[in-house]
Chain A
């Protein structure tokens, strides 16, 4: 390091854009077109379609008529709103599903796992992580079938285990479909929270924990007084992201088909049924609009938190 540093570069160079505006625009065009057509146009198109009586087949497939708020009124018709297989039922079901499987299930289990694997021997950590991540990355169809086999009433692994422990077996897909998809989604998605919290915990300086060790703190005290407060920001991020993903997930369809008798019909599945099985595109579009509004609310909260972080 004897030579003079090459700091003599004029300041101009630093602000000088490597890519001219024209080249930059050209570079942005392919992505811009794709995102416009398949993300931005759908957003506005779905709003437009939701005010028509468009169907998949028949006369109104080609010449849909403008019906004003009729689709929304039928979704929010107070006479049927809370009935099974109706929009309100589905919306409440989805809310319970998000609360139970994302906010309680995935986040708490992910937090517990992330904390546990900080201290356990490396081989335990690796094995546990492998299975938790496998549950998350394997294709959803495969996972759906694995659970179908796992829960099978007559020969499924779960009932085999229950009988082994002397507990009564059950037909869980038929009797407790809601709790099945809650457990299923917790199992499927806990990996994300685990990895997020794991990287958050690893970013805490080890000296904090060593100091606590010297003072004789228990693991629970370290978790409560050091770990938890320092990753508060990550927890908020995690909760918003998994809420949005769980709200939009379609995967339980592969396990239960929305049934039996609509008991696991989340809004995503309701949307599919109305549009592609009942062929009512207008009404399906209205469901889509409401889903997007809910997504928008969460996204705005998320982005505003992200911005605040950057400003700080």
Chain B
């Protein structure tokens, strides 16, 4: 393709502008690439001098920090299992059964899920959890997130299931399978990519969340990494930068890994309203 000179200059200008914006987005993050490996890290951007992995050793030697990562894991995995299972069943029912009032239920759920945000509903969520006697438990965080993430998960999955031809399950049932068998043996394997998306999305949401565990948990032994990270402050309230940076990097790794996984497996395709 021939390019005229102005078009060529224009294209370079576009690239330069895109690269500049990319660089501006990268700036606050670059610090995280260096500080964790710097024995004398400070808040400023600096090449590690000397390079070290000691910060990570210190983090893993801190039992509270390790416990917190484990707590994040329990809460995220618990929430993911609940969201994945309940959303799959519900989305399948919304797509494949003819329960009366399906449309109305869908509409109401969609409405409520966007109206009741965590920051608007923190008082009643706190009161419900405390009335249920679940205060300061993993279960409280798991159930709260499951409830909050389910509506969106259900809609994404329902759209996904709607796009799968019914003839798959129909032929299984013609061959004598019960509807439940048709669901587990025929539909489920086909829906799996959709479930993977839901699972990754809920995991990232719960893993990274701060507010809900912050108000529902009390004891150090239950705190997820997002709240426990504030323990890397000295008595005087100044951050212990080396540890914070190393811990932040470890804490971010699952999210980065999942992002790479999703973009490798599916391409980071766009799902409407994917973030709560």
Contact = CB atoms under 8 A, between A and B. Distances in A.
Given A149-B31, A244-B114, A38 B128 contact: yes
B53 interface: no
Given A17-B96, A303-B107, A142 B150 contact: no
A134 B24 CA distance: 12
Contacts of B124: 41-43, 45-46, 49, 285, 288
B47 interface: no
Interface in B99-144: 99-100, 107, 109-128, 143-144
Given A35-B147, A43-B112, A128-B21, A157 B90 contact: no
Interface string B147-164: 110110010000000000
B128 A42 contact: yes
Contacts, number: 311
Contacts of B126: 275-276, 281
Interface in B243-266: 244, 248, 251-252, 255-256, 259
A140 B208 contact: yes
B176 interface: no
Contacts of B14: 116, 119-120, 219
B186 to A, nearest CB: 10
A202 B8 CA distance: 22
A129 B259 CA distance: 13
Interface string A101-133: 000000001001100110111001101111111
Interface string A130-151: 1111111111111101111110
A27 B112 contact: no
Interface in B218-276: 225-226, 229, 239, 241, 244, 248, 251-252, 255-256, 259, 268, 270, 272-273, 275
Nearest to A155: B44
Contact of B44 (A32, A152, A190, A196): A152
B46 to A, nearest CB: 9
6 contacts: A18-B169, A34-B146, A120-B11, A150-B31, A154-B43, A295-B117
Across the A-B interface, give the 10 residue pairs with the lowest CB-CB distance, nearest first. A38-B147, A24-B97, A139-B208, A155-B44, A128-B22, A268-B119, A31-B90, A27-B93, A42-B124, A19-B97
Interface of A: 13-14, 17-21, 23-25, 27-28, 30-32, 34-35, 37-43, 45-46, 49, 109, 112-113, 116-117, 119-121, 124-125, 127-143, 145-150, 152, 154-158, 160-161, 187, 190, 192, 195-196, 198-199, 218-219, 237, 241, 244-245, 248-251, 254, 268, 271-272, 275-276, 281, 284-285, 288, 291-292, 295-296, 298-300, 302-303
Interface of B: 10-11, 14-15, 17-19, 21-23, 25-32, 35, 42-45, 82, 85-87, 89-90, 92-94, 96-100, 107, 109-128, 143-144, 146-148, 150-151, 154, 166, 169-170, 173, 179-180, 182-183, 204, 207-211, 215, 225-226, 229, 239, 241, 244, 248, 251-252, 255-256, 259, 268, 270, 272-273, 275
